[in-house]
Chain A
Amino acid sequence: MEPIDIGLIVSGGMLVLVVLGMRVAFAAATAGMIGLIWIFWAKFGYDPDRFGKAVTVAVKTAGQVPHSKISSQALSLIPTFILIGYLAYYAGLTKALFEAAKRWLAWVPGGLAVSTVFATAGFAAVSGASVATSAVFARIAIPEMLKIGYDKRFAAGVVAAGGTLASLIPPSAILVIYAIIVEQDVGKLLLAGFIPGMFSALIYGLLIIGMAMTIKNFGPAVSGFTWKERFQALPPALPILVVVMTIIFFVYNPFGGDAWGTPTEGGAIGAFVVFLMALYQGMRWSELKDALLETAKLSVMIFTIIWGVLIYVRFLGFAQLPNAFSDWITSLEMSPMLILVCILLAYAVLGMFMDAIGMLLLTLPVVYPAVMALNGGEGVSAADATFGMSGPMCAIWFGILVVKMAEFCLITPPIGLNCFVVAGVRDDLSVQDVFKGVTPFFLADAATIALLVAFPSIVLWLPGQV
């Protein structure tokens, strides 16, 4: 049997394990382990005497992956951004933000849900992790929405979808990871996420208003806040601006001087600023301990998926599947735009069964070079390029598209991390409930992605200015 056939069979087997309810991280690791054993044994000509040797080589090869892949500076952003989320919760920042959004925005139809979306968008400017954003807003926004009669599933859906904004609006762990995998300018990519992120928030908001106007008993507008009350709500939320400014200064100094550090450092310094605020708000050791435990738990589940998937990716490398796929894509006789759309659709399907970072780690080493080749190569000029943009710009555009797809997969069943996290916070909600509530947002995301594909300048205008 050819390595590629082994690759396909084992991949099918992994899907079966996932469907049977095996924890995704371990399903991927299992598939990777079995695949490696198979590949090495095949290399030994299926000699029964050398089966033990094949197992040894496979196990040792797989055993390298967890430590070697996890020890990376880029991945350190994930836990620090999760920590920011929980510390901000204990510092009362998220609550203040939500309160301000409520007083200013809740008068529109579906007002509290709209406020939730914009509060998560605002929080996205300090949080780089979607799951953490959903986790903290599930505690703050859902109870308030339930109080005034929202359907609990929809309320959960709003929070799950709103959380995804954190990975487009800078800072963003996942954009940094993309930049590192494809070796592109981190600062420009982060900048490029801003407008598409705000754009997504706007489309979410419009969708909710539309639903509120057509569906009976949807959830009332909340009016009656005086201007005085509105302005009073701003100062408690202001500290968030301090954090935002701190992080911005680590990516790009708006006054033209030197930035204060790298984006990776910016995330950690942002967490420190929030930590000081939480201390000022009177956070105790028991609360800090809770924040640390929750950070640890969310981090470990994400990292377990990462190394689990990477064991599987290592097996794919030995099965030579990436090369085969790359050759296949570039040999297709379809229009490049159609191929790109097919790639995005493939992401949507794959994203159903994967988490965001796992999916990027799995696919980018193969898909990214293929997309760059479609556009005419890494160094192509805008004039000669298939998609009408230079190589580096295409890398940014595709990055934002992929991250938006990855965010989409955080809310699609059967495996959508954000929905799991929201259900985990609320005892009265099952994962299925959250998936039901989040369904309308698929439409909004589909519309956003279509617009980003059709009008790349939404993505490329801002990074083009620096």
Chain B
Amino acid sequence: DQWNVSLWGKRRAFTEHVEKLAELVSEKTNGEFTLNISYGGLSKNKENLDGISIGAFEMAQFCAGYHRDKNPSITVLELPFLGVTSLEQEIELSMAVYEHPAVVKDLARWDATLLMPSPLPQYNLVGVGDAPKTLADFEGLSVRATGGIGKAMETVGAVPTSMSASEVRQAMDSGIVKAVSFAPHAHMSFGTIENGKWWTTNLNPGTVNCPVVVNTLALESLSDDHRDALLSSVDEALDHYVSHYNGQTMEAWGPALEERGIEQVTFSDTEIASFKEAAAAPAAAAWIEENTKRGLPAQELYDMVTGKIAAAN
């Protein structure tokens, strides 16, 4: 078998699990089953689910927040202030959600089967100008933050501004936005730390959920050996991803901040608690209401996610 895999951008920490998966599958099947990984050649990242549904390729990665209406069920994992503390926990939580029948059904509309997540750490802000000392300092601060994180920032008086990721650097350099919210690897690759002056270490408003999916029919029509080779490699691929992200990316992150003399802003527990109170509950309530309308057991999904986190922490 030959599978085409649609990723985007270039090979980076965010794609290491797929690269590892390809390596393992080929090894286990003596090269009889190969994954041909394409970075952007097969589809635009926002259309990867469409490509899976068409049957143009067999495996793809995407982020739930790119298109909430395509995959409402998994956007529960993108709610602000869920309180996930590690990549390992993000994986465990994602996998549990991916196995929920309502979620399976949601993705089945695209003939997609969820294979594994691409866990990312919590987003935080890199900014220019005076570093905020308290949440009150966010009042009127223009910040590039999309979707749910933008809504969360709005609750403390920040002004969310939208622009494409490639314009972010220019917008920050020229003062159109004073702060940008990304995961660390994106702060490094989009260059926001080049001129940034401060970084929030513990705002942790949330993250994005980016699963890897396979075309269900393609998965079913694999021979038992090949399907086994694929499914049995997922855990090892994820282990590799986590050690790579925690190792190379997060190891580079601290020094990258220090090298550039970027001030690290840490908010007090009470500040974070009041931010969370202002942002988390309304966002969750809105999410539950909207997705109940979509016919999802939204309350149940939300309770499952928060319950698992509460149990772990």
A-B contact pairs, 30 of them (CB 8 A): A61-B54, A64-B43, A64-B47, A64-B50, A64-B54, A68-B44, A68-B47, A74-B164, A179-B166, A180-B164, A183-B166, A186-B166, A187-B173, A257-B175, A258-B175, A259-B175, A259-B176, A261-B174, A262-B163, A262-B170, A262-B171, A314-B41, A314-B42, A317-B41, A318-B41, A318-B56, A320-B36, A320-B41, A322-B41, A369-B10
Residues of B within 8 A of A187 (CB): 170, 173-174
Bound: A316/B41 CA distance, A: 8
Residues of B within 8 A of A316 (CB): 41
Residues of B within 8 A of A179 (CB): 166
**Which residues A291-346 have CB closer than 8 A to chain B?**
314, 316-318, 320, 322-323
Query: Is B40's beta carbon under 8 Å from chain A?
Result: yes
Query: Is A239's beta carbon under 8 Å from chain B?
Result: no
Query: Is B226's beta carbon under 8 Å from chain A?
Result: no
**Which residues B230-245 have CB closer than 8 A to chain A?**
none
Query: Is A167's beta carbon under 8 Å from chain B?
Result: no
B274 shortest CB reach to chain A, Å? 31
Kindly supply a per-residue 1/0 record for chain A positions 50-88, scoring 1 wherever the CB is within 8 Å of any chain B CB and 0 otherwise: 000000010011001000110011100000000000000
**Which residues B10-48 have CB closer than 8 A to chain A?**
10, 36, 38, 40-44, 46-47
Residues of B within 8 A of A72 (CB): 164
Residues of A within 8 A of B36 (CB): 320
Query: Is A347's beta carbon under 8 Å from chain B?
Result: no
Contact (Cβ within 8 A) A64 B170? no
A396 shortest CB reach to chain B, Å? 14
Contact of A262 among B51, B55, B167, B190 (CB under 8 A): B167
**Which residues B151-181 have CB closer than 8 A to chain A?**
163-164, 166-167, 169-171, 173-176
Query: Is A264's beta carbon under 8 Å from chain B?
Result: yes
Bound: A253/B175 CA distance, A: 10
Contact (Cβ within 8 A) A318 B4? yes
Query: Is A89's beta carbon under 8 Å from chain B?
Result: no
Known: A64-B43, A264-B167, A317-B41. A57 touches B174 (CB 8 A): no
Question: Closest chain B residue to A61 by CB distance?
Answer: B56
Bound: A180/B174 CA distance, A: 17
Bound: A263/B55 CA distance, A: 39
Contact (Cβ within 8 A) B175 A180? no
B contacts with A, residue count (CB < 8 A): 30
Query: Is A47's beta carbon under 8 Å from chain B?
Result: no
Contact (Cβ within 8 A) B170 A185? yes
B159 shortest CB reach to chain A, Å? 15
Contact (Cβ within 8 A) B174 A253? yes
Residues of B within 8 A of A57 (CB): 54-56
Residues of B within 8 A of A377 (CB): none
Contact of A73 among B43, B167, B170 (CB under 8 A): B167
Bound: A183/B12 CA distance, A: 15
Residues of B within 8 A of A264 (CB): 167
Contact of A258 among B46, B51, B174 (CB under 8 A): B174
Question: Closest chain A residue to B43 by CB distance?
Answer: A64
Contact (Cβ within 8 A) B56 A261? no
Bound: A72/B167 CA distance, A: 12
B172 shortest CB reach to chain A, Å? 10
Contact (Cβ within 8 A) B41 A68? no
Given contacts A69-B44, A185-B170, A320-B41, 16 further A-B contacts (CB under 8 A): A60-B56, A64-B51, A73-B167, A179-B166, A183-B166, A185-B169, A186-B166, A187-B173, A187-B174, A258-B175, A258-B176, A262-B163, A314-B41, A318-B41, A320-B36, A369-B10
Bound: A433/B190 CA distance, A: 47
Residues of A within 8 A of B56 (CB): 40, 57, 60-61, 318
Question: Closest chain A residue to B37 by CB distance?
Answer: A323
Bound: A261/B175 CA distance, A: 8
Residues of B within 8 A of A318 (CB): 4, 41-42, 56
Bound: A64/B38 CA distance, A: 17
Residues of B within 8 A of A64 (CB): 43-44, 47, 50-51, 54
Bound: A316/B46 CA distance, A: 20
Query: Is A365's beta carbon under 8 Å from chain B?
Result: yes
